[in-house]
Amino acid sequence: MGLAPIPSGGFLLKPSSLHEEFGYEIPYLAGGGFKHFNILGTRIGASTIAFWALWNYLGKEGYKNIVKECMEVTSYFMKRINEIPGIKVVVKPIMNIIGITTENGEKVEIIDEELRKKKWKMGLFNNLKILRAVIMPHVKKEHIDKFCIDLELITKKLFN
């Protein structure tokens, strides 16, 4: 959500005392005694530098604004999904990710196929019967509205 290239993601821990529980020392880095919090291991440098540049450009407030906007669009998307008969949001999102399923968990694969015909590419979790959407900074309410129009047309055909 922070505009940096993959794999420069990370996570923030609060309170800071959690750092002591999750970090681990790597004896061959920084002369030892250095707490390491990377869960992926060694990373390539380009994504780290890209993140650093974005952080310096946007700052903490800039990142907070991006997250706030993404969460507003996520909430709007949840509201729109809940207005469409036959489908529902799996759980109220606490991040910029929404899982969508049908009332009875059936026909999710068909909905995915029909959405793809209309050039909407969702993440399909077949074993859970869920379509997943990640709301990134470039996704706006207008996109959500267009998507929901197509989704509602598909569900009307399937459930009526």
Global pTM value = 0.76
What is the model's pLDDT at position 68? 96
Asked if 115 and 154 touch (Cβ cutoff 8 Å), the reply is yes
The one-letter amino acid code at 86 reads G
Could you read off the pLDDT tens digit of each residue along the chain, which spans 160 residues? 677 777 666 666 677 777 667 666 666 555 666 666 665 556 567 777 888 888 899 999 999 999 999 999 999 999 999 999 999 999 999 999 999 999 999 999 999 999 999 999 999 998 999 999 999 999 999 999 999 999 999 999 999 8
Q: Name the CATH superfamily for 18-159.
A: Aspartate Aminotransferase, domain 1 (3.90.1150.10)
DSSP helix/strand/coil, 141: helix
Residue 62 CA to residue 97 CA, distance in Å, equals 20
Helices and strands, number each (H, E), in the chain = 4, 6
Location of structure tokens 């729109």: 80
Residue 157 CA to residue 22 CA, distance in Å, equals 49
In 3D space, the residue among 128, 97, 102, 98 whose CA is nearest the CA of residue 114 turns out to be 102
Contacts of 96 (CB under 8 A, 6+ apart): 1, 67, 70, 71, 73, 74, 134, 135, 136
**Paired sense of beta strands 130-134 and 35-36, if any:** unpaired
Show the CA angle centred on residue 68, arms to residues 2 and 4, nearest 5°.
5
Residue 96 CA to residue 80 CA, distance in Å, equals 15
Q: Which residues pair with 102 in a beta bridge?
A: 87
